[in-house]
């Protein structure tokens, strides 16, 4: 079953952000682009490398109008402890979302029943809270923030210009394709 166009269900989650605890709801993610970035758990091996990569590119995501939400089944208290204990995680400025009941990972179908935690899944949500792109990969392979950002920007372009599509390796400023029956013979 595809998650494309799946609308995020209502939720309330505790978060650690800006050195304080607060809550995040579906309403908070509507009206702007979002990246829900699931990872298995805090205090692990691959996860800090991915989160540091996102932290290093956070300004680019913000410039693109996209908020990052780092999500694992750990509580907001564990997120805070990890943020304070690890130099890579200390760089994070985006919200770290607690999903101890796995409600969000189940909603976006990235929950691993056997391990009781989220797989490595990244979900790009449009301003209406619908999934427009996603990837779920093995928990032992890290992801690349630059590629995720490229997919965010391509998704935003197509969202704004529904009559055009983005070819492989497209980045902002590159040419797009306006599909037409005239092009079919050239493909």
pTM of the predicted protein model:
0.94
Q: How far apart, in whole angstroms, are the C-alpha atoms of residue 160 and residue 140?
A: 35
Instruction: Specify the pLDDT at position 179.
Output: 81
The mean per-residue pLDDT over the stretch 59-81 comes to: 98
What local confidence, expressed as pLDDT, does residue 162 receive?
A: 86
DSSP letter for 96, please.
E
For the chain, percent of residues with pLDDT exceeding 90: 88
pLDDT reading at 39 higher than 90: yes
Residue 104 near residue 97 (C-beta atoms within 8 A): yes
CB 108 within 8 A of CB 38: yes
pLDDT band of residue 183 (cuts 50, 70, 90) is: low
What DSSP element (H or E) covers 73? none
Asked if the model's pLDDT at residue 182 lies above 60, the reply is: no
Catalytic status, residue 66: no
Strands 120-125 and 131-137: antiparallel
Choosing from 29, 47, 104, 125, which is the catalytic residue? Answer: 47
């Amino acid at each position: 079953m595809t998650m494309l166009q799946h609308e995020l269900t209502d939720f309330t989650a505790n978060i650690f952000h800006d050195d304080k605890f607060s809550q995040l709801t579906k309403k908070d993610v509507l009206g702007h682009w979002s990246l829900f970035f699931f990872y298995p758990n805090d205090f692990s091996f691959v996860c800090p490398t991915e989160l540091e990569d996102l932290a290093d590119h956070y300004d680019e995501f913000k410039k693109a109008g996209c908020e990052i939400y780092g999500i694992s089944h750990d509580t907001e208290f564990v997120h805070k402890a990890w943020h304070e204990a690890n130099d890579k995680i200390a760089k994070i400025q985006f919200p770290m979302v607690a999903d101890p009941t796995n409600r969000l990972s189940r909603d976006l179908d990235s929950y691993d029943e056997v391990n009781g935690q989220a797989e490595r899944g990244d979900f790009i949500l449009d301003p209406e809270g619908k999934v427009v792109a996603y990837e779920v990969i093995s928990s032992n392979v890290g992801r690349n923030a630059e590629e995720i950002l490229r997919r965010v920007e391509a998704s935003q372009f197509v969202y704004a210009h529904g009559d055009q599509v983005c070819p492989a390796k497209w980045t902002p400023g590159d040419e797009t394709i306006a599909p037409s029956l005239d092009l079919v013979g050239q493909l």
